Structure 1
Amino acid sequence: MNLSSFPRRSLAHAALVLLVALAGVVTPTRSAPARSAPARSAPAQSAPVHAAAPPAGSTSRYTMTAFTNSSESNMYVYEAPDATGFRLRRGPAYTPPSGLIRDPSIIRHTDGYYYIVYTTNWTGNTIGFARSSDRLSWTFLRNHTIPLSGVANTWAPEWFVDTDGSVNVIVSLSTTGSDFKPYKLTATNAALSAWTAPTVLSGIGPNYIDTFIVKVNGTYHAFTKQETTKYIEYATAASLTGPYTFQRTGDWAGWGGPREGQSLVRLDNGGWRIYFDGYTVGKYFFSDSVDGFRTWTPPAELPALSGFARHFTVLKETVSGGASLPTATTRSLRSTNYPDRYLRHRDNLGYLEQVSASSSAQTKQDATFTVTPGLADANCYSLRAANGQYLRHYDFRIQLGADDGGSTFRQDATFCAHTGASSGSLTLESYNYPGRYLRHYDFALRVDLYQDTDTFRADSSFVATTPWA
């Protein structure tokens, strides 16, 4: 939710907010990459991470539930294998019997059903609940009235399932429209139909909205929007209800502002991704951290959905399926859209080049790799050349390098497999730059951010074949 959409905000103030936002927005290109390599300037990505990718035979599935720029009364459902390349599964997937469907938050409960909780209106004291067995078809359950006197605005309810199994909703409540604070409701039955009275999260507010909480190693981490400065700030506590202590304020992470609608999800490399709405510029961004929320990558626009999907959450599950490569074997990787060309190294750089039965023995050997368990995560993969060196990315360009035992090299040389654009093909996602895929561009190999185009999907899809050497 955002107060800038509230009718009381003046046009003059809205214009000022927009100017501030435009000054601070990072707008990454979504066109084909330039020939020169981008700078290697994301220190957070060089930190060691813990293996988290699912094993062979299974894959991660990220489900997004969102309302859209075009409708506050319809919810859309998207899915991705990587938390980046979301594709529409159904839209609209749910329309409540009355009111709005803003800020839908999704969980999968212990009964096997999926549940959403959402904002029902700009004003009032209710939140809505719906349920689904398949994430695509939803049934309205009820509107729940917040039992707190004087509540005028009830915004942005977010699920939080604690490590003790308790199911909670964190919701922003206000009595005046400008005194928002986060409160906790806890389910008192397994059907999620009865709830405790709201308990304020001490230490946050007033004037904080869209509070989203994750728990790591016994500490509660709150990401909450300061409604005056429009920045997403960061606080921690030893208890869900606090007291919270702010660790970072202002534009501490380099995300700029105004920002809101934040939500977090765990990535396959053990890091975290935060999504947030640049609502004054009509764009949706994400940023990653692998060092305990200390540093974050520069904001990037969410491919395909930036400017369309609004305030959402993303649910990560491990499901059967996915793509895999046989390890301890040699393979060649053939392009799906240039089937006479194969991934190879030449002069220590990666290219897509023609290889045939008449090619030289050197060319055939350069197009043959031993598939090994990933150097940074055994559930992913590394590709070793005949000379013992590995394919890795550096400045996002693919090249050969010797394993120096360091975490940076091992992450740069690890790729996670996903199903490719055509039958029998796979894609290879960078382990330490989630959302970037090994692809060819002008027949040079690089790792580029996913683009929602048929060309990108074809450029990043390969078929593992019988080795040339």
Structure 2
Amino acid sequence: MTTRPSAPAPSRRSLLRALAALPASAVVLGAFPGLLGTAAAAAPASGSATRYTIVPFLNSDDGTVDVYQSDDATDFRLVKASAYTPPANRIRDASVFKHTDGSYYLTYTTHTWQDVSTTIGFARSSDRVTWTFLYDYTVPLANLSRAWAPEWFVDTDGSVNVIVSCSTADDEWIFTPYLLKAANAALTAWSSPVALSGIGSNHIDTYIVKAGSTYHAFTKNETTKYIEYATATSLTGPYTISRTGDWAGWGSYREGPSVIQLDNGAWRIFFDGYGDGSYYYSDSHDTFATWSTPKALPGISGTARHFTVVKETVSGGASLTRNATRSLRSANYATRYWEEQSALLDLPVVTASSAGADKQAATFTVVAGLADANGYSFRDASGNYLRHYGFRGRFDPDDGTTTFAKDATFIARVGSATGSVRLESYNYPGHYLRHYDYQLRVDVSDGTDLFRQDSSFVPVTAWS
């Protein structure tokens, strides 16, 4: 379980409410630095790869954003630091999506917590790396005080929308989600703001995904500090909030939810754990009913703040030849190979002088994934399949169950060395086959270069 501090840090909104009562001379600037429609899910086909992009602002700086990418939605690597700095004001809570014109667009909060903020910003990029400022848009809401955390939502009819959290001068720290619909393809004109019916006031950071005909909203309740869950049959509502409190096991003092669908069909939520300074993710395999224990996002947890994710299929990626026999060599221990030993998968030294039995035990047939034909499964000479059991790699006969098929399916990702692959567990996203004490097991990525090397293997001509 996640360890939480005994006295969680107050939210940015409660901090602001308290600070608003202080004279200006008492406020220390910089003390609070961190203020799609559904597609069919499958592993990327040979010759292509999945790419997830995030554009977070920094825990230490809300004047610029970095760009990171990942092939597994777990291990994010820096593409460019300070990739975009707006010409004026700040950039916070940036949301990114790819438009039908092939360009990427950002929308973001334009001011820091102490300022009235009636605009949201827009920027565009052709490559996710070099960004051009477009404009600041004044949200046309009477008596507006704050317009925060705009989030893109592209509906299944192709319409482009922004969900923005707004407060009025009557109570500048009570936020309500509003919808703006793009009035043209250039995203330069917007409809009048419409409040999302049913979610109500004192909710912020509302993020929506659509599955089938249902709109699913994840929104932070600013009174309880929990992320709540609501559904509706129309984008503007009325929404019914059906999950409150710690319904998903994520804990309190969480905000900025962003939800995407992974290659295996599971849904992943990312959220900012501002109470303990971490950034978390959690997965659901039953369309939002239950969720895995949240884990800190490796590598960028504590650095990145409030982001959304754009997922694409791009050219390239890793691939293996199916229906061929191969041996798999460790990318960072050139004399060590996969070898089946007493049904378990180990990584001993195998050489030309090794016994024939060892060479046979280090030879496997690569086949289409049992759970997803775009993935991979590995069969030994006796017809047993490599699967994880208790997170240990082992070979067992196919029992025909869905669980076995998933346990025995791996998604190929690009490895750390030329020609190498990393094999991600199909049913435990972000977990990879890696060697540890020369045994093969399935472990969650920790975002380090060493883990990437330990989980990289080079398919070579079979020993036998």
Q: TM above 0.5, one fold?
A: yes
Aligned to 2:16: 6
Q: Secondary structure at the match of 1:410?
A: helix
Aligned to 2:46: 56
Q: Secondary structure at the match of 2:357?
A: helix
1:130 aligned to which of 98, 123, 128: 123
Aligned to 1:353: 348
1:235 aligned onto 2:230: yes
1:75 aligned onto 2:65: yes
The one-letter code sitting in structure 1 at the alignment partner of 2:346 is Y
Identity across aligned pairs (percent)? 61
Q: What does 1:250-269 correspond to in 2, within 5 Å?
A: 250-269=245-264
Asked whether the 8 Å contact 2:336–2:348 carries over to 1, the reply is yes
The one-letter code sitting in structure 2 at the alignment partner of 1:191 is A
The one-letter code sitting in structure 1 at the alignment partner of 2:13 is L
The one-letter code sitting in structure 2 at the alignment partner of 1:374 is G
Q: CA deviation at 1:51?
A: 5.2
1:186 aligned onto 2:172: no
Alignment partners' CA distance in 2, 1:453 and 1:146: 42
Asked whether the 8 Å contact 1:218–1:238 carries over to 2, the reply is yes
Alignment partners' CA distance in 1, 2:213 and 2:368: 32
Distance 1:140 1:229, change over 3 A: same
Q: CA deviation at 1:7?
A: 6.0
1:23-53 CA-to-partner distances (Å, cap 9, x unmatched) read xxxxxxxxxxxxxxxxxxxxxxxxxxx7511
Distance 1:9 1:392, change over 3 A: farther
Distance 1:443 1:125, change over 3 A: same
Q: CA deviation at 1:248?
A: 1.1
The one-letter code sitting in structure 1 at the alignment partner of 2:452 is R
Aligned to 1:169: 162
Q: What does 1:68-107 correspond to in 2, within 5 Å?
A: 68-107=58-97
Aligned to 2:33: none
Alignment partners' CA distance in 2, 1:308 and 1:9: 25
Q: CA deviation at 1:8?
A: 2.4
Q: Secondary structure at the match of 2:173?
A: coil
Q: Secondary structure at the match of 2:308?
A: strand
Asked whether the 8 Å contact 2:372–2:409 carries over to 1, the reply is yes
TM-score, normalised by the number of residues in structure 1: 0.90
Alignment partners' CA distance in 2, 1:99 and 1:3: 20
Alignment partners' CA distance in 1, 2:448 and 2:141: 49
Asked whether the 8 Å contact 2:325–2:364 carries over to 1, the reply is yes
1:451 aligned onto 2:449: no
Aligned to 1:142: 135
Q: Secondary structure at the match of 2:338?
A: strand
Q: CA deviation at 1:5?
A: 4.5
Q: What does 1:283-362 correspond to in 2, within 5 Å?
A: 283-362=278-357
Q: What does 1:16-31 correspond to in 2, within 5 Å?
A: none
Alignment partners' CA distance in 2, 1:272 and 1:337: 33
The one-letter code sitting in structure 2 at the alignment partner of 1:137 is T
Asked whether the 8 Å contact 2:53–2:67 carries over to 1, the reply is yes
Deviates more, 1:175-184 or 1:316-325: 175-184
1:91-122 CA-to-partner distances (Å, cap 9, x unmatched) read 10001111111010001111111100000113
Q: CA deviation at 1:9?
A: 5.1
Q: CA deviation at 1:263?
A: 0.4
Aligned to 1:393: 388
Aligned to 1:120: 110
Asked whether the 8 Å contact 1:51–1:376 carries over to 2, the reply is no
Q: What does 1:354-433 correspond to in 2, within 5 Å?
A: 354-433=349-428
Bigger relative contact order, structure 1 or 2 (CA pairs below 8 A, ≥6 apart) = 1
Aligned length in residues: 431
Alignment partners' CA distance in 1, 2:194 and 2:403: 44
1:460 aligned to which of 455, 460, 463: 455
Q: CA deviation at 1:348?
A: 1.2
1:161-190 CA-to-partner distances (Å, cap 9, x unmatched) read 000010000011111133211110000011
- Which ranges in structure 2 are unaligned for 5 or more consecutive residues? 1-10, 22-39
- Which ranges in structure 1 are unaligned for 5 or more consecutive residues? 12-49
Alignment partners' CA distance in 2, 1:463 and 1:443: 16
Aligned to 2:25: none
Alignment partners' CA distance in 1, 2:17 and 2:302: 21
Q: CA deviation at 1:2?
A: 3.4
Q: CA deviation at 1:6?
A: 2.2
Q: CA deviation at 1:366?
A: 1.2
Asked whether the 8 Å contact 1:179–1:205 carries over to 2, the reply is no
Q: CA deviation at 1:408?
A: 1.1
The one-letter code sitting in structure 2 at the alignment partner of 1:8 is A
Q: What does 1:31-46 correspond to in 2, within 5 Å?
A: none
Aligned to 1:247: 242
The one-letter code sitting in structure 1 at the alignment partner of 2:137 is H
